[in-house]
Chains A and B, each alone.
Chain A
Amino acid sequence: MDFSYTDVQQMLQDSVQKFVQKSYDFDTRNTILNSEKGYSAENWQLFADLGWLAVPFSEEDGGLGGSAVDLMVIMEEFGKANLIEPYTAGAVLSGSLVAELATGDIKTMLVEGIIGGELLLASAFAEPGSRFNPGSVATSAAVDGDDVILNGIKVAVENGPNANKLLVSARESGDVRDPLGISVFVVDASTPGISMRSYQTVDGKMASEVTLADVKVPASNRLGEAGAALPAIEVATNRAIVAVSAEAVGALEVLLQKTVEYSKTRKQFGTPIGTFQALQHRMADMFIQCQLARSIVIMAAMTLDGDDSAEEKAKAVAAAKSRIGKAIKDVGQEAIQIHGGIAMTEELDVGHLFKRVTALDLAFGDGDYHTQRFAQL
């Protein structure tokens, strides 16, 4: 048994750490947040140059191996920096979906585009009535000669405003929750019939509500077999869940660390508030939550990288997201409470980390959703 990183993973961690420490402080993040695009295109190109955008892909697809543990290593560091660039949406989720489903030239084109940094993708799965279930798809795909016509509404499409192409889940047959009949199409963001309402999210990312009205795409833009995309969507989503969970682990760790530091310097009643036992115990509990969160994310990442059945993998991921949800609430809320009013302000990074982990709790289903999913699997 050995939980240490390989030399390559260690190097990856060092390189991401170096980047965020040197080039991603709180002020820089605010500048990026308030920029026109809401992310830094230079950073994205840098991620490509450093090979980070190749990490989600296997070597045979032209990537650097594609292990979930590798993704965990990167995402934890991104979480510490409260990074805005859409790594999960653009590289992990969309990249894994392409790797799972696409074949031939279209696959080569998409994978090379993602790895090179010139292709920004967004995955459009969620719908007004689907809540967190990616298998609930009402958006329709009707074959029309050599084309397919898409109609429907997608919500919470992260990276939608900046994406060149969208990966849209749509139904070719069956009723709204039939596991069969769902396909994924690559759609140029500029295709007529696509309209977007774009917004910044509470944690500073860019997202859109996307309406598809008679959007015509060539049938050859379908990734994989008609109507058979749901298992691949689930595989890609599971990897994205490990990514956001690891991101949360990094963010929670920083929240804990900043809270402890603050309690040592903030004086009330003539003494640092960290000397009060009532607060010491609560910070000890925050530490326990962080440790359990880390443990369960490692478990999920290792399970995804292992030989277990698809069901066992799904169960491990549900367990992780469920447990992370609890840690997010406990650690996030305590970090604010122990800081007091100062953490309620936009001027301190603690509040921004709190907003980020709150959004991560919702991403791909909140803790409650995954507890129930775990119980059902």
Chain B
Amino acid sequence: MNADFTAEELAFQEEVREFLRSEFPADLKAKVDASVRLDKEDMVRWQKILFEKGWAAPTWPVEHGGTSWSHTQRHIFATEMGLYGAPEPIPFGMKMVAPVIMAYGTEEQKQRFLPDILESNAWWCQGYSEPNAGSDLASLKTAAVRDGDEYVVNGSKTWNTLGQYADWIFCLVRTDNTVKKQEGISFLLIDMKTPGITLKPIVLLDGFPEVNEVFFDDVRVPAENLIGEENKGWTYAKVLLTHERTNIAGVPRGKRRLKSLKNIAAETDDGFGGKMIDNASFKQRLAEAEIELKALEYSELRTLAALSVGNAPGPESSILKIVGTELAQRMDEMFVELAGYNCLPFVPEQFEPGFTGEPIGPGNSASAALTYFNNRKLSIFGGSNEIQRNIISKAVLGL
């Protein structure tokens, strides 16, 4: 048994570090360190730098512009990105719709959509959840009715992340009402500029309209935008959901945030002449978080090792999702605790691009509560943690 990297892997790790140090733009680094939100332009700019390097899509096959990296190399790359604070690509195009197009799309669809995803010329968003179809996604109702060479789409989607930036949306739509709910769903790609689509922003607890409701009113979509066969969309979607759950453990980000907690604790007065880093109870919880992160990291490595010898990702991804998100949320609580009264100001604009005023409170302290509120989503989205526990009890424990 060993968890060491080979000499080649270590060299690769150094190459990634060097690349990040020299190529991740300083202004973006400054934003990340100050908890300022990256806007569309920031994210596209970084993604294009990765594209130039040939590293835009580590998980893609080489024929489509991927890297031919091993699972371990991909892990090293994701780890170094996370540790450095460089954002992962927006997943909707790169990690979610692209694998479906590759697996089930026509040659024409691949030519048409994949290059723009790889080069970040097109921003994708997701049309899955509906107001009455959340954890029970298969009960979705947005309907697509075939009319000649087109589908006519009517209905609404919700929890659509950053749709305000999007050029395209991939949707699950109902094409057959007469069969079992999973069997009447199709996978449709829709141009966001199509007449009849309207977006209604949903403001979340941190004050930012991160998600939208998307309404479809007689939206006419060319039938050539259907992926695979009609009524097979649920099968394709399940593939996509597995991809959504990889990398969800967030170990690198956890490590970066743990370091940040320690730094902040070392500077935070305890009110009695000492610093919070020496507060016995805080220290204990910091240690517990660090230990949990270790256990999570090695669980992820074990999953990785299994993938490397060709095993498909199974219910392990549910463990990583549950533990990763709940640990992230515990760290959010600790940031709030350290910030104390300094996280009370509700000044979301302070963390938006272009803010030039003087921030209230030291450092990023006023972002702590906003992040705590926003990250409650982690245990809800991507298959809620309740759904993940269902998967474990059914698929692993056979209950």
Contacts and interface: CB of A to CB of B under 8 A. Distances in A.
Given A209-B360, A268-B139, A201 B205 contact: no
Contact of B340 (A204, A344, A366): A366
Contacts of A197: 360
A278 B280 CA distance: 35
Give the bracket for the number of chain A residues in contact with chain B: 35 or more
Most buried by B among A133, A201, A202, A267: A202
A337 B379 contact: yes
Interface in B341-366: 341-347, 360-362
B134 interface: yes
Given A340-B134, A341-B159, A177 B340 contact: no
B360 A346 contact: no
B140 to A, nearest CB: 12
A65 interface: no
Interface string B318-349: 00000000000100010011001111111100
Most buried by A among B159, B202, B336, B345: B345
B273 interface: yes
B362 A278 contact: no
A167 interface: no
Nearest to B207: A346
A351 B356 CA distance: 29
Contact of B376 (A133, A207, A344, A368): A344
A278 B394 CA distance: 14
Given A269-B136, A366-B340, A132 B271 contact: yes
B135 interface: yes
A347 B374 CA distance: 15
Nearest to B389: A278
A355 B204 CA distance: 12
A155 B342 contact: yes
A355 B136 contact: no
Contacts of B272: 133, 136, 177
A128 B339 CA distance: 11
Interface residues of B, number: 53
A71 interface: no
B171 to A, nearest CB: 18
A177 B273 contact: yes
A129 B159 CA distance: 41
A197 B389 CA distance: 47
Contacts of B379: 337
Nearest to A269: B136
B281 A341 contact: no
B337 A201 contact: no
A362 B139 contact: no
Contacts, number: 128
A258 interface: no
A358 B336 contact: yes
Contact of A368 (B282, B342, B386): B282
A354 interface: yes
A131 interface: yes
Interface string B254-286: 000000000000001111110000011110000
B346 A202 contact: yes
Interface in A253-270: 267-270
A128 B361 CA distance: 9
B126 to A, nearest CB: 13
A195 interface: no
B269 A129 contact: yes
A176 B272 CA distance: 9
A215 B76 CA distance: 58
B341 A362 contact: yes
A362 B380 contact: no
A340 B384 contact: yes
A198 to B, nearest CB: 10
B342 A344 contact: no
B203 A341 contact: no
Contacts of A340: 134-135, 380, 384
28 contacts: A128-B269, A130-B271, A131-B268, A131-B269, A131-B271, A176-B273, A177-B272, A202-B345, A202-B346, A204-B346, A209-B360, A337-B384, A341-B134, A341-B159, A341-B211, A341-B381, A344-B204, A344-B205, A344-B377, A345-B203, A345-B205, A346-B207, A347-B202, A355-B205, A355-B373, A358-B369, A359-B344, A366-B337
Interface of B: 129, 132, 134-136, 139, 158-159, 202-205, 207, 211, 268-273, 279-282, 329, 333, 336-337, 340-347, 360-362, 369-370, 372-374, 376-377, 379-381, 384-386, 389
